[in-house]
Amino acid sequence: MKKMLDLVVTENNQLNQSYCLIKLTTTDHSFLPEMFPGQFVEVRVDGAPSTYLRRPISVNFVDKAKNELWLLVQAIGEGTRKMCEYKKDDIVNLLLPLGNSFSIPTTKEGQELLLIGGGVGTAPMLYLGACLKEKGFNPKFLLGARSKNDLLQLDDFARYGEVFCTTEDGSYGEKGYVTNHSVLKNNRFSSIYTCGPKPMMVAVARYANEYKINCEVSLENMMACGFGVCLCCVEKTSEGNICVCTDGPVFNIEKLTWIN
């Protein structure tokens, strides 16, 4: 059940010029609501005059031991730039958790799982990987970025599985796009999970469809309200037009029109 909560910033780490990692906890030491990988939150951004609507941010990680929610934020507009200025002890109002989640396999036998993230789309892959590891799986991660400086949280990912990388300029890992990485040629995966720029996800979806691999994608359509009123995030599917914020953001590719 979604709640509107005031959370307090415990840390705000600037990862590079464009990204920050914000960690938050409850103000009264109560437990955070249960959250699942793939879900998101809507952040009310105070102090940003032209930011009238909340900003949707993926759940990056939930540190249950510290009762902390992590949000990976890319500063691309006034609202997200303001968020990257948050300081320790600032109070932030959130609506959470929202949306559905990735599917966790019911059996471990024969499961080879690949989690593919690009840009800020790597955010939900970390918590998904942690949850899969907790359930006894050994996921692999394939992370794509423009350059080495844009690859984030590599040490965190390595805690939960083997990490492979691509960069467009070849400064780290294999040069090129994620769909060209050798891990896809050298392994046979049973399921792929992905989030990132739409062209990347479409390419991953078509690869998965070609090789008959189960595939779920987390869409990053523009969202304003988070509960299906504003209709900003409508996506065409095989069942008609749906709101990503309420029916998603996670979809099996069989439901989308990308592979037809």
Binding site residue list: 55-58, 72-74, 79-80, 225, 230, 233, 245
Query: CA-to-CA distance for 210 and 126, rounded, in angstroms?
Result: 26
Give the chain as a DSSP string: --EEEEEEEEEEEE-SSSEEEEEEEESSSPPPPP--TT-EEEEE-TT-TT--S-EEEE--EEETTTTEEEEEEE--SHHHHHHTT--TT-EEEEEEEES--PPPPS--TT--EEEEEEGGGGHHHHHHHHHHHHTT---EEEEEESSGGG---HHHHHTTSEEEEEETTSSSSEES-GGG-HHHHH---SEEEEES-HHHHHHHHHHHHHTT-EEEEE-----SSSSSSS-TTEEEETTEEEEHHHH-SEEEGGGBSTT-
Residue ranges for the known binding site for [2Fe-2S] cluster are 225, 230, 233, 245
* Cα(250)–Cα(254) distance, integer angstroms: 12
What is the C-alpha to C-alpha distance for residues 96 and 33, in angstroms, rounded to an integer? 8
Which of 21-42 are b and which e, b meaning 16 or more Cβ less than 10 Å from the residue's Cβ?
A: bbbbbbeeeeebbebbbbbbbb
Binding site as annotated, residues for FAD: 55-58, 72-74, 79-80
